[in-house]
Amino acid sequence: MANSVSPSATSYPCGSTERTKLTHHPLRPFGRVVEAAGGGARIEDVPVPMLVRWTEESRVLVLRGFDLLGRQAFADYCRGWGEILKWEPGEVVDLVVQDDPKNYLFASGDVPFHWDGAFVEANPRYFFFQCLDATPGAGGQTVFSDTTRAYRDADQETRDRWSRVSITYSTDKVVHYGGEVTERLVAQHPATGLPVLRFAEPLAPEKYKNPVFAQVHGVDESEVDGFLGSLSELVHRPEYCYDHDWRAGDIVIADNFSLIHGRNAFTGPTKRHLQRVEVI
Ligand SMILES: [Fe+2]
């Protein structure tokens, strides 16, 4: 599928006189990498409105050649974008695979599609990751699905059906989130106004630790399983999904409204360490 980003270069002032060259590479089917020539660039030196625009255009923005930030500096930087969602572990959440996890997020299996912040008051607008360490070739790609594209391609009958659906999600609070929430399937992006799908795949209790259950409203009881199955199949289609293979040093900014995301299973031992901050 076409991507609106063509390979191109921009530069921004770095210090008083120097300019750092940034090269843009489109990702498929969406997303972009912005690479700083020579490395050692500072994210703080790129104007936030520029990064916001690139993130909104591309949904997933990967910055390479930029210095990672210390834990507190990372949170402070993200505060420049908006209020930070505070989780129990703090503003910065460490994502690492654990040996004996209480929740599937910290296990080595796959993580089905969801959006972040379903079980808290405010849905984050953006999430920020920085990758402190990675094991290339060991799976664990973060998979982003662009629901604005899935909606755009749906026929009117399907859209009408979706518009009548809401889903109640529930999960026990074992780690940093839990509770019950009901969301309409179709929502509006707060910045672009485009329709988005707020869909989290239900998790089978026999497969996932600390599963999420979904109760569907607006669909006949006998059709619920088929409805959820076809929605899952749709958002997994390759034309809507970008798989991000992490490299140490990546900084990734993603749009938590247009996208839902999940993770492929790890295929071997991994030392991957991501830090995540979410901005409302
Ligand atoms: Fe997530």
pLDDT recorded at residue 76: 97
Query: What separation in Å is there between the alpha carbon of 15 and the centre of ligand 1?
Result: 36
The answer to whether residue 155 is domain-embedded is yes
pLDDT recorded at residue 108: 78
The answer to whether residue 104 is domain-embedded is yes
- Whole-prediction pTM value? 0.89
CATH code, domain carrying 182: 3.60.130.10
What is the 3-class SS of the chain, one letter each residue? CCCCCCCEEEEEEECCCEEEEEEEEECCCCCEEEEECCCCECHHHCCHHHHHHHHHHHCEEEEECECCCCHHHHHHHHHCCCCECCECCECCEEECCCCCCCCHHHCCCCEEEECCCCCCCCCCCEEEEEEEECCCCCECCEEEEEHHHHHHHCCHHHHHHHHCCEEEEEECCCCCCCEEEEEECEEECCCCCCEEECCCCCCCCCCCCCCCEEEEECCCHHHHHHHHHHHHHHHCCHHHEEEECCCCCCEEEEECCCEEEEECCECCCCCCEEEEEEEC
pLDDT recorded at residue 97: 80
Query: What separation in Å is there between the alpha carbon of 66 and the centre of ligand 1?
Result: 24
Query: What separation in Å is there between the alpha carbon of 113 and the centre of ligand 1?
Result: 8
Query: What separation in Å is there between the alpha carbon of 105 and the centre of ligand 1?
Result: 8
Query: What separation in Å is there between the alpha carbon of 264 and the centre of ligand 1?
Result: 12
pLDDT recorded at residue 213: 86
pLDDT recorded at residue 102: 65
Query: What separation in Å is there between the alpha carbon of 256 and the centre of ligand 1?
Result: 9
The answer to whether residue 226 is domain-embedded is yes
Query: What separation in Å is there between the alpha carbon of 111 and the centre of ligand 1?
Result: 8
Query: What separation in Å is there between the alpha carbon of 115 and the centre of ligand 1?
Result: 6
Q: Say how many domains are in the chain.
A: 1
Query: What separation in Å is there between the alpha carbon of 177 and the centre of ligand 1?
Result: 11
The answer to whether residue 68 is domain-embedded is no
Query: What separation in Å is there between the alpha carbon of 29 and the centre of ligand 1?
Result: 20
pLDDT recorded at residue 87: 78
pLDDT recorded at residue 39: 85
The answer to whether residue 49 is domain-embedded is no
Query: What separation in Å is there between the alpha carbon of 20 and the centre of ligand 1?
Result: 32
Domain interval for residue 164: 97-122+133-245+255-267
The answer to whether residue 275 is domain-embedded is no
The answer to whether residue 154 is domain-embedded is yes
Query: What separation in Å is there between the alpha carbon of 204 and the centre of ligand 1?
Result: 17
pLDDT recorded at residue 17: 37
Query: What separation in Å is there between the alpha carbon of 87 and the centre of ligand 1?
Result: 13
Per-residue pLDDT tens digits of the chain, which is 280 residues long: 444 455 566 665 544 335 678 999 999 999 999 999 888 899 999 999 999 999 999 999 999 999 999 999 999 999 999 999 887 778 999 998 876 666 666 667 888 999 987 777 778 999 999 999 999 889 999 999 999 999 999 999 999 999 999 999 988 877 666 788 899 999 999 989 999 999 999 877 777 777 788 899 999 999 999 999 999 999 999 999 999 999 999 999 999 999 999 999 999 888 999 999 999 9
pLDDT recorded at residue 259: 97
The answer to whether residue 19 is domain-embedded is no
Query: What separation in Å is there between the alpha carbon of 116 and the centre of ligand 1?
Result: 5
pLDDT recorded at residue 212: 82
